[in-house]
Amino acid sequence: MPFSPFRGPPESTAITAVLEIENLNAIINQRADRLSSDSSIRLLRDVSIRIEHGQTVALVGESGSGKSLTALSILRLLEEHTPIEISGSIRFENEDLMQLPLEMMRRIRGNRIAMIFQEPMTSLNPVFTIGNQIAESLKLHRNFAGKEIVGESISLLERTGIDEPKKRLGAYPHQLSGGQRQRVMIAMALACRPALLIADEPTTALDVTIQDKILSLIKDIQREYQMAMLLITHDLALVKNYADQIYILKDGMVVEQGSPSQIFEQPEDDYTVRLIQAIPESKRQPRAEGPVQVKTEGLSCSFRTSSGLLRRFFETGENEVRVLDGVSFSIRQGTTCGIIGESGSGKTTLALALLKLQNSSGAILFNNRRLDQ
């Protein structure tokens, strides 16, 4: 039976793996990297990973360990424009992707295999609207048109938690916050209901209040469509709660693999032990006794909304929008104060007001000296 990039998971129960990587290697020859004294540099060393239908597999390791390189190798995005040579076997739904023509790979990317990139600003096209970019995959892979595209695009944005999704279709990437751009990337990745979702730090740019919602959404879609996921993340707490299998990557090699209980309760490799020991713990700190170094009293900040559009957006008939409203806090010498809130809550405005880069009212004291006067 010829390979089709549009078919669903195989009906045969004999084939349980949606993706099986065996002995994946990535090498840069000296001709491409003249700074190296070696004949070649091995970036990936015999990496083998197995992901079954509906399963979440986490790839964990420090920066430069080869996590994203592994993901890009699956999609064969390296061989056309980089000097990196890839070898090994990458079988997707029982077909070796390494042997497929590039034209067939292009029909699979964004369709049967989708990827959420870590930095959406460099992944989204700055000259096309959000609606146009979501529509591209719906036209190409699902043959949608007209109102069907608009309706599905709005639905996808709603499911990823974007407010006023219909209006966002006409926005450009630079007009959205970082969290909103990442949500758009997630919507685009889920548009064609892929069999495999590669998520490279999928919630890094999202508000703390929306992270669980997005991950729960992805898990719901996994169950509904038996979608598999390769989760690349630095958040070990996230891995523990959402992954079925964990692969630990160091210097391009898999040093350990197992279930979350095996990895966290009985780690075997020293590197895995160090990663677990590096997980921050929430401990009650002793009460700080140092002098108050920074203090605010009733710090407030407002923006004028001269246009009717802004007044409608903030649902107020007034000419001002209150961003900070009587914020008071103090920071003692040698301590750390955390400011937490969702996008638009006023965190950045507060920092700018403290530095007098944003007009505000109220008192700002530094070492008992008034900075607001």
Give the mean pLDDT of 280-289: 69
Instruction: State whether 94 and 126 are in the same domain.
Output: yes
**What pLDDT does 91 receive?**
96
Instruction: State whether 296 and 273 are in the same domain.
Output: no
Is the overall model pTM greater than 0.85, yes or no? no
Residue 15 token pair: 């084939």
Per-residue pLDDT tens over the stretch 178-223: 778 888 988 999 899 899 999 988 877 566 666 777 777 778 878 8
Residues 6+ apart with CB under 8 A from 191: 114, 134, 137, 138, 141, 142, 152, 156
Q: What are phi and psi of 225, to 5 degrees?
A: -110, 10
Question: What's the total number of domains in the chain?
Answer: 2
**What pLDDT does 373 receive?**
79
pLDDT of 10 strictly over 50: no
Instruction: State whether 251 and 344 are in the same domain.
Output: no
CATH number at residue 170: 3.40.50.300
Angle between helices 178-190 and 130-142 in degrees, nearest 10: 10
Residues 40 and 111: beta-carbon distance below 8 Å? no
Angle between helices 147-159 and 130-142 in degrees, nearest 10: 110
Q: How many CB atoms are closer than 10 A to CB 172?
A: 15
Per-residue pLDDT tens over the stretch 79-102: 878 889 999 999 999 899 999 999
Instruction: State whether 150 and 296 are in the same domain.
Output: no
**What pLDDT does 82 receive?**
87
Residue 92 token pair: 């997707």
Instruction: State whether 234 and 310 are in the same domain.
Output: no
Within a domain: 282: no
Per-residue pLDDT tens over the stretch 310-362: 444 444 445 677 889 999 999 998 888 888 887 778 888 899 999 989 889 99
Within a domain: 7: no
* Residue, of 37 and 259, whose pLDDT is higher: 259
The last residue of one of the domains, among 228, 243, 277, is: 277
Instruction: State whether 242 and 346 are in the same domain.
Output: no
Domain residues for the domain of 330 are 292-370
pLDDT of 32 strictly over 60: no
The last residue of one of the domains, among 242, 277, 312, is: 277
Residue in the block written with tokens 């890009």: 72
Residues 44 and 70: beta-carbon distance below 8 Å? yes
Residues facing residue 292 across a β-bridge = 332
Instruction: State whether 198 and 257 are in the same domain.
Output: yes
Q: Would you say how long the chain is, in residues?
A: 373
The alpha helices in the chain, defined as continuous H runs, are 67-74, 102-108, 120-123, 130-142, 147-159, 165-168, 178-190, 208-225, 236-242, 260-265, 270-277, 308-313, 347-354
The last residue of one of the domains, among 233, 251, 277, is: 277
| Degrees, nearest 5: CA angle 194-243-163 | 60
| Of 202, 199, 197, 201, nearest in space to 222 by CA | 197
Instruction: State whether 196 and 308 are in the same domain.
Output: no
Q: How many CB atoms are closer than 10 A to CB 284?
A: 5
* DSSP annotation of 178: H
